[in-house]
C-alpha cells in the first residue's frame, strides 16, 4: 500500500499502460481528486473525477502509477455529484 502523503498536487496520474489519466488536484480521504479538464471536446470537461487509492501501484517522483490500464481506470473513476461528494 502506498502512503497518500507521497501524492502531491500537480502529479501526473499514469495508467499501467503508460497512458496519462489525469493530474492530481489533491487527495481526499481514500481517493485522488483529479483536476477539472479544460478541453472543450472532452466529455469530462468542468467536472472533478476521483480515483480510489487502491488503484495506485507506485509513486515515482511526480507520477502516480496505477495498477490498471488508463482505459480501465477511467471507467472506475467516481464523478463528483452535485452535492460535492
The pLDDT confidence band at residue 73, using thresholds 50, 70 and 90, is confident
What CATH number does residue 16 fall under?
A: 2.30.30.240
pLDDT for 72 equals 86
pLDDT for 63 equals 97
Q: How many domains does the chain have?
A: 1
- Coarse DSSP helix, strand, coil percentages of the chain, rounded to the nearest 5 percent: 15, 40, 45
Tens of pLDDT, residue by residue over 21-56, are 999 999 999 999 999 875 444 555 566 788 999 999
CA 18 to CA 40: how far, in whole Å? 24
- Residue 85 falls inside a structural domain: no
Phi, psi of 7 (to 5 degrees): -95, 120
- Residue 84 falls inside a structural domain: no
3-state secondary structure of 13: strand
Of residues 73 and 46, more confidence is placed in 73
Domain with 20 in it: 4-79
- Residue 24 falls inside a structural domain: yes
Indicate whether 6 pLDDT > 50: yes
Strands 20-28, 12-14: pairing kind: antiparallel
Amino acid at each position: 500500500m502506498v502512503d497518500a502523503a507521497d501524492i502531491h498536487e500537480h502529479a501526473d496520474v499514469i495508467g499501467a499502460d503508460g497512458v496519462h489519466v489525469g493530474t492530481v488536484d489533491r487527495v481526499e480521504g481514500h481517493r485522488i481528486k483529479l483536476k477539472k479538464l479544460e478541453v472543450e471536446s472532452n466529455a469530462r470537461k468542468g467536472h472533478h473525477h476521483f480515483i480510489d487509492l487502491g488503484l495506485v501501484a507506485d509513486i515515482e517522483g511526480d507520477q502516480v502509477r496505477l495498477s490498471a490500464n488508463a482505459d480501465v481506470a477511467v471507467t472506475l473513476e467516481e464523478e463528483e455529484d452535485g452535492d460535492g461528494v
